[in-house]
Homo-oligomer: A and B are copies of this chain.
């Protein structure tokens, strides 16, 4: 399985642009989340570098640690999203001649579809977890890097909503009403929180111009 982190940016984009089924939108969403996390880390680093922000260093260090962990998770999710979708494609190609083959194929498709909703749901959760820290960082962080926090919020929100589109597209393939209801409920909650946090951060950033 491809480790996207090791590819050059240009090669990753070429792979994304190709007609191969993966990498696709789920991987792109996770990489956008990793970019957002990296920008949060940068703003933290620019705050920790200045003695005049010493009073907030402990709080900022904690946000930086969280963003760094999230960046690693996003790169892992980028890979796992492609694996999950490849498994869906593979399951669909299984033979379906005999009743036994049909049953086995159907079972494998269900398992793969379920996985193809769980992985992007995790991408959305990780993105919202970092978004939740941004209003505090807008208050406490180095104001010279305020526009970078706005960019981080935009990329993390895009990652969230995009990941949830990938949940939604794969969800009808999971014949489990309780699971579907839970995923739909989580989707509505994460969509709402990410948009609200994005709007709050972008508005606060624009106030500083």
Contacts and interface: CB of A to CB of B under 8 A. Distances in A.
Closest 9 CB pairs of A and B: A25-B151, A19-B45, A17-B41, A16-B38, A158-B158, A151-B162, A5-B10, A17-B38, A25-B148
Interface of A: 4-10, 12-14, 16-19, 24-26, 28-29, 31-32, 34-39, 41-42, 45-46, 48-49, 67-68, 71, 75, 145-148, 150-152, 154-155, 157-158, 161-162, 165-166, 168-169, 171-172, 202, 205-206, 208-209
Contact of A165 (B45, B168, B171, B202): B202
Contacts of A18: 42, 45
Given A28-B151, A34-B13, A168-B147, A19 B49 contact: yes
